[in-house]
Chains A and B, each alone.
Chain A
Amino acid sequence: MLLRRIYQFFIIYLLGIALLFALKYTLRLSDYVIPGPAEIWRTGRDYAGPYLLAVLNTLAVAILGHLLSICLATAVAVLGRLTAWIGSFIRTAAYNIQAYPIVAVAPIIFILLGDGLASRLLIAAMICYFPLLLSFIGIFSEPVTDIEHFYDSTRRMTWRLQVKIRAFENIHKLTTVIVGSATMAMVGTIVAEFIAATAGIGYSIRIALYQSDLAKILVALFLIGIGTSLYLVSLEGLGNALQKRLKSL
């Protein structure tokens, strides 16, 4: 699965680069607008090392942010499944927070938490938690009547048991949405780094943009693609293993 994902990414990346070169040579653009193959190769050789470290840094924050958002979305969805006023209030708050553009909220986060790890984590979590939340709310609010009816009628139903039943019955949907939101976590972390952090590949891209250096950005995009592919494949593997194990129970 890993190999297939990587070579598929290579194809997409190379197609993108080919399109850029086609534009460059058709319109006779200078290396300033679109860098030539030699410059991209040179930049890759000079910056692959530091950029790889930056991508790993970003990936580590993205994974933590993703975990945080899974916990956050689970908590909100479990509370939000309540039909009482508090449940609806939590849902409204969750939707409204997501409606604010992160670039407007980010300065407040950075004033409160500084421009270190905490801000990057929070922004990454904020960006990727919404798709998780929507799915989790849907899953945890939908009764599994066949099974729950038995526990309801025997008066043995607790809220923990209810959550477990609904999670178990929808494990495929849950793993799919968790894997899908992983890319959002990566994007969220890069956005956070772009806005205010002083580390990570988002910060490197920001510096490259200041210097109008598209070659650096292309190298960064390549490494981000590889990093994201690795993370997604790992998550898919974990999800499959979990589903197999649950089925065998």
Chain B
Amino acid sequence: MKRAALVVSSLIFLFACWQNEKVEEVSYRLKWLYNVSVVGDLYADVYGYFAKNGLKVDVKPGGPERDALKELELGHAQFGVASADQVFRAVAKGAPIVVLAQLFQVNPLQWIYRPDRTPFAGPADWKGKVIGVTFGGNDETIMRALLARYRIAENEVTLFSVRYDYTPFYEGRVDFWPLYVNAQAVIIGAKLSKAGETYAFVSPDTLGVRFVANSVVTSREMLEKHPDTVKRFLDALCRGWQDALDPQSEEKAVQVLLQMDRETPAAVVRRQLAVTRELMLPAPGAAFGKIDPDAWKQTAEIMAAQQLIPAQLDVESVLMTDLIK
């Protein structure tokens, strides 16, 4: 009898230990390929932030044909990264998506130009110039919003369809070219400097157009049925990002990125990281990942004005602002 009780209690003890050590597996679809814009996501994974919170996260790279929002709905991923325009398009079509955190506080999408050839003091200087946009992309939406805001008619500028090839900008056929200031701009800028050319950037944010970029999303069902998992994931992710952007752990962040992206030289990654830090860290006193409801509302207004989404979209119901204070 005593022996049986001992066996049963041992089994209960082992089961309890197993329960404690049980790791929950989730999948996290990034918006783009491994580059500096996902350094905190990788940092949280590699340095065990997720593991400490009892999670095993499969951090999957994104890309042009990958859509985290569709994967959430199909159950292929539990968390993802998407830009605000993607979120609004999805929500407008009934996708049950919620936003947990806002990664970029300032949109990294800006326009590069050569100040010696094309001086730019304000949007009025765009008149008569050739401006690159990706038709259908969010840079088109942002540029149209800027033109509307500064009352520049579309026939006063020439919109040029851009692709991945920068030749039209290098050749001077296009005056303003859209790029991600924390990623491509460092590489393109270095090339221009090498050729003895000067360059500068136009930031839509400083011109009053705050169009929200990468944000962390999940499904409404995930938030309602597994709030603890969401909380643990978000806590680990934000701490990972915070530490990855801390100048004191720069070398660790660079190394984690170099492990995943062997194509980009370390010196370039360091410069990219410095720019990313400025775009992502919130105002002093605010926690990393803080959602900026005003910027989200402006993004929705811009999209509604261009008839990309219906005007009556309930923005606030999508934003989970109480998760990060």
Residues of A within 8 A of B (CB): 27, 29-33, 35, 39, 107, 110-111, 115, 195-196, 198, 206-212
8 A-B pairs besides A32-B92, A33-B74 with CB distance below 8 A are A29-B73, A30-B73, A31-B94, A107-B164, A206-B136, A207-B136, A209-B136, A211-B89
Q: Which residue of A lies closest to B64 (CB)?
A: A209
Please tell me which one of the listed residues A27, A35, A206, A212 contacts residue B86 in the complex, with CB atoms under 8 A apart: A212
- A107-B165 contact, Cβ under 8 Å, with A30-B93, A30-B95: yes
B-chain residues with CB within 8 Å of residue A111 when the two chains form the complex: 165, 167
Bound-complex Cα distance A7 to B66 (A): 34
Quote the shortest CB–CB distance from A235 to chain B (angstroms): 32
Residues of B within 8 A of A (CB): 64-65, 67, 69-70, 73-74, 86, 89-90, 92-96, 134-137, 161, 163-165, 167, 308
Q: Which of B70, B89, B136 counts the most A-chain CB atoms under 10 A from its CB?
A: B136
Quote the shortest CB–CB distance from A96 to chain B (angstroms): 24
Bound-complex Cα distance A35 to B93 (A): 8
Quote the shortest CB–CB distance from B97 to chain A (angstroms): 9
Please tell me which one of the listed residues B89, B134, B137, B161 contacts residue A32 in the complex, with CB atoms under 8 A apart: B89
Quote the shortest CB–CB distance from A107 to chain B (angstroms): 5
Q: Is the interface of B mostly helix, strand, loop or mixed?
A: loop
Please tell me which one of the listed residues B70, B163, B165, B167 contacts residue A33 in the complex, with CB atoms under 8 A apart: B70
Q: Which of A29, A31, A212 counts the most B-chain CB atoms under 10 A from its CB?
A: A212
A-chain residues with CB within 8 Å of residue B95 when the two chains form the complex: 30, 32-33
The answer to whether B74 and A211 touch across the interface, beta carbons within 8 angstroms, is no
Quote the shortest CB–CB distance from B191 to chain A (angstroms): 15
- A208-B74 contact, Cβ under 8 Å, with A30-B95, A32-B95: no
Bound-complex Cα distance A224 to B308 (A): 25
Please tell me which one of the listed residues A29, A195, A209, A211 contacts residue B163 in the complex, with CB atoms under 8 A apart: A195
Quote the shortest CB–CB distance from B209 to chain A (angstroms): 19
The answer to whether B161 and A198 touch across the interface, beta carbons within 8 angstroms, is yes
B-chain residues with CB within 8 Å of residue A30 when the two chains form the complex: 73, 90, 93-96
Bound-complex Cα distance A39 to B94 (A): 12
Some 24 contacts from A to B, beta carbons below 8 A apart, are: A27-B74, A29-B74, A30-B93, A30-B94, A30-B96, A31-B93, A31-B94, A32-B69, A32-B73, A32-B89, A32-B90, A33-B70, A107-B165, A111-B167, A195-B163, A196-B165, A207-B135, A207-B136, A209-B65, A210-B134, A210-B137, A212-B70, A212-B86, A212-B90
A-chain residues with CB within 8 Å of residue B163 when the two chains form the complex: 115, 195-196
The answer to whether B73 and A212 touch across the interface, beta carbons within 8 angstroms, is no
Quote the shortest CB–CB distance from B81 to chain A (angstroms): 15
Quote the shortest CB–CB distance from A47 to chain B (angstroms): 13
Bound-complex Cα distance A202 to B165 (A): 18
Q: Which residue of B lies closest to A208 (CB)?
A: B136
B-chain residues with CB within 8 Å of residue A212 when the two chains form the complex: 67, 69-70, 86, 89-90
The answer to whether A33 and B73 touch across the interface, beta carbons within 8 angstroms, is yes
Quote the shortest CB–CB distance from B63 to chain A (angstroms): 12
A-chain residues with CB within 8 Å of residue B165 when the two chains form the complex: 107, 110-111, 196
Bound-complex Cα distance A109 to B256 (A): 36
Bound-complex Cα distance A56 to B91 (A): 34
- A32-B70 contact, Cβ under 8 Å, with A212-B86, A212-B90: yes
Quote the shortest CB–CB distance from B33 to chain A (angstroms): 15
Quote the shortest CB–CB distance from B77 to chain A (angstroms): 13
Q: Which residue of A lies closest to B70 (CB)?
A: A33
Quote the shortest CB–CB distance from A151 to chain B (angstroms): 53
The 9 closest A-B pairs by CB, nearest first: A207-B136, A210-B136, A32-B93, A30-B94, A31-B93, A32-B95, A32-B90, A30-B95, A198-B161
B-chain residues with CB within 8 Å of residue A196 when the two chains form the complex: 163, 165
A-chain residues with CB within 8 Å of residue B136 when the two chains form the complex: 206-211
Bound-complex Cα distance A30 to B89 (A): 12
Please tell me which one of the listed residues A32, A207, A208 contacts residue B94 in the complex, with CB atoms under 8 A apart: A32
A-chain residues with CB within 8 Å of residue B93 when the two chains form the complex: 30-32, 35, 39
Bound-complex Cα distance A107 to B167 (A): 10
B-chain residues with CB within 8 Å of residue A33 when the two chains form the complex: 70, 73-74, 95
Q: Which of A29, A30, A31, A110 counts the most B-chain CB atoms under 10 A from its CB?
A: A30
Quote the shortest CB–CB distance from A27 to chain B (angstroms): 7
Bound-complex Cα distance A32 to B67 (A): 11
